[in-house]
Structure 1
Amino acid sequence: MNARRDDLGDPRPDGPARPPARRRPDASMSLLADLFAGKLLDHGYAEAAARRAAGGTGPRAGRLRGAGVLLVLVLTGTLIAVAVAEVRRSEPVAAERRSRLVEAIHARTAETDALQRRLDRLRADTERTRTAVLARSDTGRRVRGRLARAAAAAAALPAAGAGIVVTLADAPRPDPAGRDRAAGGRVYDQDLQVLVNGLWAAGAAAIGVNGQRITPTTAIRAAGEAILVDYRPLTGPYEVTALGDPARLRDALAGSAADRRLGALRERFGIRYEVRRTSGARLPAAGTARLRYAAPRTEDGQ
């Protein structure tokens, strides 16, 4: 049995031929017909409504989001206002505490200075009594000589004589607050360390910084913007006094590593660096050294 395909492609058994089905004249215009009938528009609106329902969009959701944003802004503004009020309220308290702390520091410093002056007087009285006792015999005079040499080496006695004075000071400030001054224009503890070591190398017999005696164990450190010499704060300008022959000290310091460093700081950052002679410098005795590891040396079998 033969088969053939009709217009729709369906295999049918042989039989009398049927006329082909007639197509609607507006078949090609079905899309426009549906559009005019409102089917496509209704379907599109239905999909959009479904999407809004699924995603939480719509006028009501938009109003809720707007209310949430407004609430967040109100809470943020409230927190900022509270923080500003707390800062303003704490400023007078901080200023009062700082003022009390500064007063306490000044009071303790005055007490320390008074105790140091009393200690100096007691040391002077002790030294006079000891000298008078040792001067009564030859053995005592020899012991007194040894003690004098050891005391000079340890800076335990006041010193006076000729020498040089080296002045270090910060660079001039462009304005009263010093806001525009470069950090390199300040004198640091390392600069004083280099200068003191350079003066020792030049042959100084005794050294003091702003009247504070330097010993072999004296520390020069920094605490914030202050420089501590033997743990006492000093303020600039810093005058470093070195006792010895003025001409020899000045010639030995000129061209040394310390002189080159300080000269470069003067040229580059404007730090004040001056050297002058003095004929009557006086340096006080240093504090008593606390030896932790040293022991007395036996001499001549004693």
Structure 2
Amino acid sequence: MSNSADSSRGPGRRAFRHPARLLTAAVFALAGLIFVTSANTAKGTNIRTDASLLKLSDLIQQRSGKNAQLDETNASVREDIDALVRRDDGTTEENARLKALERAAGTTKLSGRAVAVTLNDAPPDATANPGYPDPQPNDLVIHQQDLQAVVNALWQGGAQGIQVMDQRLISTSAVRCVGNTLILQGRVYSPPYKITAVGDPAALKQALDDSPAINNYLLYVKAYGLGWKVDEHQAVTLPGYSGTVDLHQAEPAK
């Protein structure tokens, strides 16, 4: 996955060629540089087990797991707080308004008919189907814009609530990608990516069909085998959002 603007995803070939001698010299020079760098870095230590050289991906996965645990703790504490602040003497109208606000905020469970969309990278050995040019690396992976296109289309189709992977989206949620992974509300995910929306299945699927961004993605599905699957479900329950909320003040759009 890439979070680049990716304004033109069409494949292209590099025509630049190096003379053979220049290429050979460059290879030897690069090899020497690698040997010197490796020696200076190691300095008698085992660089494979040096704690300072842990892969960034490992650190991200550790932090993601920690964030998941904190989300669970936060959800439990929030339930306790809600139980303390709720008034038993509230009027029927007040209680109904409170529940409506909770549903709109996405902090309570939501059940109903739904549509689930699954996107995936192309197979590692993917080649172009007949009639299409050879793919470039960016043509074979899910991009941030692809996920955003699906989420936006489902909202446009009247979704009452949306879940990406195992997390409920709220007004402050942002679907972002770093490298080939999805970063959502402090958690890290790898493809395949599943997006589930509760609402009228017919309207949701029509919104997917009408999206120009999704139609562009489907061209790459046909050309290079990227994953695309749309399922309809009669009964789905989305979890309520249980993370922290950074929004302290908001004004309606004018």
Specify which of 175, 187, 198 is matched with residue 142 of structure 2.
187
Match status 1:147 vs 2:147: no
Asked whether the equivalents of residues 188 and 227 of structure 1 are also in contact (C-alpha less than 8 Å), the reply is: no
Match status 1:233 vs 2:188: yes
Give the superposition deviation at 1:184.
Answer: 0.8
Q: Which amino acid aligns with 2:246?
A: R
> In the TM superposition, what are the counterparts of 1:214-293 in structure 2 within 5 Å?
214-286=169-241, 287-293=243-249
Asked whether the equivalents of residues 115 and 197 of structure 2 are also in contact (C-alpha less than 8 Å), the reply is: yes
Give the 3-state SS of the residue equivalent to 1:266 in structure 2.
Answer: helix
- The structure-2 alpha-carbon separation of the partners of 1:201 and 1:266, relative to structure 1 and needing over 3 Å to count, comes to same
- Quote the sequence identity (%): 28
Between the two structures, name the one with larger relative contact order (CA 8 Å, sep ≥ 6): 2
Specify which of 117, 120, 126 is matched with residue 166 of structure 1.
117
- The structure-2 alpha-carbon separation of the partners of 1:83 and 1:191, relative to structure 1 and needing over 3 Å to count, comes to closer
Can you list the C-alpha shifts for 1:83-135, whole angstroms capped at 9, x where unaligned? Answer: 7254256364266333376655444333322221111122233334555x34x
Match status 1:121 vs 2:76: yes
Match status 1:196 vs 2:151: yes
Q: Which amino acid aligns with 1:252?
A: A
User: In the aligned structure 2, how far is the partner of 1:167 from the partner of 1:94?
Assistant: 37
Can you list the C-alpha shifts for 1:148-189, whole angstroms capped at 9, x where unaligned? Answer: 2222222122222220100000011118xxxx9732110011
TM-score by length of 2: 0.70
Q: Which amino acid aligns with 2:104?
A: A
Asked whether the equivalents of residues 176 and 184 of structure 2 are also in contact (C-alpha less than 8 Å), the reply is: yes
- The structure-2 alpha-carbon separation of the partners of 1:102 and 1:259, relative to structure 1 and needing over 3 Å to count, comes to closer
User: In the aligned structure 2, how far is the partner of 1:240 from the partner of 1:142?
Assistant: 34
CA RMSD, aligned part only? Answer: 3.0
Asked whether the equivalents of residues 106 and 161 of structure 2 are also in contact (C-alpha less than 8 Å), the reply is: yes
Alignment correspondent of 1:74: none
TM-score by length of 1: 0.60
Asked whether the equivalents of residues 67 and 186 of structure 2 are also in contact (C-alpha less than 8 Å), the reply is: no
Asked whether the equivalents of residues 159 and 197 of structure 2 are also in contact (C-alpha less than 8 Å), the reply is: yes
Asked whether the equivalents of residues 149 and 211 of structure 2 are also in contact (C-alpha less than 8 Å), the reply is: no
Q: Which amino acid aligns with 2:120?
A: A
Alignment correspondent of 1:93: 47
Unpaired segments ≥5 residues, structure 1: 1-76, 297-302
Give the 3-state SS of the residue equivalent to 1:167 in structure 2.
Answer: strand
Give the superposition deviation at 1:190.
Answer: 0.9
Select the structure that is richer in helix: 1
- The structure-2 alpha-carbon separation of the partners of 1:212 and 1:183, relative to structure 1 and needing over 3 Å to count, comes to same
Q: Which moved more, 1:91-100 or 1:151-160?
A: 91-100
Alignment correspondent of 1:209: 164
Give the 3-state SS of the residue equivalent to 2:210 in structure 1.
Answer: coil
Instruction: Report the count of equivalent residues.
Output: 210
